[in-house]
Amino acid sequence: MVKIAPSILSADFAILGEQVSKVEQAGAELLHIDVMDGHFVPNITIGPLVVEALRPVSQLIFDVHLMIENPDLYIKQFARAGADIITVHAETCPHLHRTVQAIKETGVKAGVALNPSTPPDILEYVLGQLDLVLVMTVNPGFGGQKFIREMLPKISKIKAMLDRIQSTALLEVDGGVNVNTAGEVAAAGADTLVAGSAIFGAEDPAVAVQKIKEAAGE
């Protein structure tokens, strides 16, 4: 059974709390929170303040996706703000093993994200430590981009790597996920689907959550 992680990047920030409640009631399991710094990616979004503000109004698993340089500097702040999972990009972490340990030391689950051009091998020696692997199926920075189909074999490859070590880590896919792509993403081995524009850009985000679940083969 796939889990759905609506990305608030495409939500209406003027009524953010209401939007989160809507997807929570619709059966989403996680809330995907995209943090961008204008350096690692060409966009600036939200920080720990927003995570902190949403924490009391939602029981969802807060899945914080850090698209920032020097993520080590902000791990504690996001943990304190209420993150349940903190995911860093392998491309931003010269000492990836240390960064993963630093996340876990805060009591939060640790994830690693890979850009489309980054090979899965980079995960090999940290995989056993991870609670989540995030495969980017767009180049990070913006919502509403087109799904990169060449990532399907990469999802399957990482799924096999996880199975080989009997990992229970979530295999999450982010970018261009909608009713048309959810089926093949799930078939490739993903168990957690991020969707931003397909959910918050829909007329009814609650219906969109259900439709994506169905499309993923529920």
Q: Rounded to an integer, what distance in angstroms lies between the CA atom of residue 167 and that of residue 170?
A: 9
Considering only residues 30-89, where is the footprint of ligand DX5 by CB under 6 A? 32, 34, 65
Cβ atoms of 193 and 212 closer than 8 Å: yes
**Contacting ligand DX5 (CB under 6 A), which of 82, 120, 143, 205?**
143
Residue 177 in contact with ligand DX5, rule: CB under 6 A: yes
Rg for the chain, CA atoms, rounded:
16
| Stretch touching ligand DX5 by CB under 6 A, among 86-94, 99-107, 156-164, 172-180 | 172-180
Residue 138 in contact with ligand DX5, rule: CB under 6 A: yes
**Contacting ligand DX5 (CB under 6 A), which of 119, 144, 153, 217?**
144
Residue-wise burial string across 155-179, b where 16 or more C-beta atoms lie within 10 A, e elsewhere: bebbbebbeeeebebbbbbbbbbbb
Catalytic residue list contains 72: no
Among candidates 14, 67, 49, which has minimal Cα distance to 200?
14
Residue 24 in contact with ligand DX5, rule: CB under 6 A: no
The answer to the question of whether 141 is labelled as a binding residue is yes
Residue 10 in contact with ligand DX5, rule: CB under 6 A: yes
Considering only residues 161-190, where is the footprint of Zn ion by CB under 5 A? 174
Among candidates 192, 118, 195, 129, which has minimal Cα distance to 159?
192
**Rounded to the nearest 10 degrees, how much is the dihedral formed by the CA atoms of 207, 208, 213, 214?**
70
The catalytic residue among 37, 63, 131, 174 is: 174
- The residues that touch Zn ion, with contacts defined as CB under 5 A, are 34, 65, 174
Residues annotated catalytic, as ranges? 34, 174
